[in-house]
Structure 1
Amino acid sequence: MKVAPVTSGYMMIATTSLALMGKSVTPEALHWVANEPLIVRAASVICRLMDDIVRHESEQERGDVASAVECYMNEYCASKQDAYIEFVKQIRDGWKDINKECLDPILVPMPVLEQVLNIARVINLLYKDGDGYTNTTTKAKEFITLVLVDPVIV
């Protein structure tokens, strides 16, 4: 879990997305995100664990390297189901940490926190009903089409 911010790719996505916000993001905000604040760590854990839960079976079938599920099972002599239960708990705790950070935005402006939050929301959308990142038969494809291909015209 110590490497979740790096291995999930969330840190890179969060930093890049803030940099792309232009003048509305200060150098202090970029420094803030680079120091892995609680909201970024929580979102990284959510991303890492949701990805590992939904992709665990297919990765093991392909013979990929151990995921967080395998590491947890080995470290705690636990079943796959026990690992999933623990990870769902950690994901819930991560959302609580994100909510806590958004309720009291003192270190950075709310638009910066919203950007970090919105990326976590995308991760949730992609992984809540299966692997919507690599599997094109999930509802994620429909959602993306609704937003980007068939947007609401006002």
Structure 2
Amino acid sequence: MFKDEMERGDISKSIQCYMHESGATEDEARRHIKSLILKTWKKLNKERVNAKSQLLQETVDYAMDIVRMAQFMYGKGDGHGHPNVTKSHVLSLLFNPIQGI
């Protein structure tokens, strides 16, 4: 989370940079960054659908995999600052059976 990162003395993050540059509140900055993420997902999905060659398709798929991993690590907070949460997610994803199937 943003506040946890600041307390640890981590480098400036997108929320903090936007707050500093625009004078926005933390909530406004979070909404702005979230809107940028959504716009970027839309662009990536459009590129994926419109890929004309196998090489381009593989390149877009690779980019999307990186974005998915970043979303997984940071979508609900700081994946590096809270390794137990990340470990739990990874173990659940890879080793725990899906219930109800």
- TM interval, shorter chain, is 0.7 to 0.9
SS in 1 for 2:83: coil
TM-score, normalised to structure 2, is 0.75
Question: 1:123-138 residue pairs with structure 2 within 5 A?
Answer: 123-138=70-85
The structure 1 residue matched to 2:39, chosen from 93, 97, 104, is 93
> Aligned partners of 2:10 and 2:80: how far apart in 1?
17
Counterpart check, 1:118 vs 2:60: no
The answer to whether the 8 Å contact 2:14/2:33 transfers is: no
Gaps of 5+ in 1: 1-53
Following TM superposition, by how much is the alpha carbon of 1:80 offset from its aligned partner in structure 2, in angstroms?
A: 0.9
> Aligned partners of 2:11 and 2:65: how far apart in 1?
30
Range with bigger deviation, 85-94 or 65-74: 65-74
Shift in alpha-carbon separation, 1:124–1:67, aligned structure 2, 3 A: closer
> Aligned partners of 2:56 and 2:10: how far apart in 1?
41
Counterpart check, 1:83 vs 2:83: no
The answer to whether the 8 Å contact 1:132/1:141 transfers is: no
Following TM superposition, by how much is the alpha carbon of 1:99 offset from its aligned partner in structure 2, in angstroms?
A: 0.4
> Aligned partners of 2:25 and 2:84: how far apart in 1?
29
Q: How many residues align?
A: 95
> Aligned partners of 1:127 and 1:142: how far apart in 2?
14
The Cα RMSD (Å) is 2.2
Shift in alpha-carbon separation, 1:77–1:136, aligned structure 2, 3 A: same
Question: 1:21-32 residue pairs with structure 2 within 5 A?
Answer: none
Gaps of 5+ in 2: none
**1:10-44: CA deviation from partner (whole Å, max 9, x where unpaired):** xxxxxxxxxxxxxxxxxxxxxxxxxxxxxxxxxxx
